Amino acid sequence: MIPTASELTETGPDYAELFKSMGAESRFIPVDKREDCFDEEIQQAMNEASSIFITGGNQLRLSTILGGTPVAKLIRSLNASGVHVAGTSAGAAIMSEHMIAGGPGGPTPRENGVTMAPGLGLTNRIIIDQHFSQRDRIGRLMTALSYNPFVSGVGIDENTAAFIDADGVLEVLGEGAVTVLDPSELSHSSMANTRADEPITLIGMKIHVLASGAQFNIESREAFSLK
């Protein structure tokens, strides 16, 4: 477990107890500053892991502390070799190449509706947002896609997970839903000509709302319901 996003000292121990209660052996590594990411003992501990979990907190703590360090490179290489990498809240947001670092909630995409930062780059096919319906974040995810319509937007509700397998198939599990925004048929975006805080026109954006058991192929951008 990597609790870097949280500034609370109890986050690592609390998650260790949580995973222990579910029958999983775990340990947390104290990466609180960039110099920790060059610690060989920390890298060795990561090399022995069968999975890596990144906790929630502040996305910018993750990107500014981990970015460009041996720990970030190791997470990418371990994931490429088959090690599962998971995260919640900020830990989920940083999975993609382009990360949402902040922005107000609301249903309407606006010119200044999102702040972006580099993520870990485990995938360059999606941008992830979290606490999605609970904090009304569809507007800021649409704004993020208006900058880069190459990717799809994945908005994850609380108590809900999106698992992506080696073939790029995303499967939903949990109590809520995953909202997928697909800009592959976007015919018009006014982002380039929109003034500060003005709403953005986006024509042709597709939306899928996927409940538990539904799937979305992030490569082909096809959605499937298994129910």
Residues involved in catalysis: 89, 131, 158
- What is the pairing mode between strands 177-182 and 152-156? antiparallel
- Strand ranges (E), 63-205: 84-87, 98-102, 115-118, 126-130, 152-156, 160-164, 169-174, 177-182, 188-189, 202-203
Read off φ and ψ for residue 16, nearest 5 degrees.
-60, -45
Query: 195: which residues sit within 8 A by CB, 6+ positions away?
Result: 111
Amino acid at 17: E
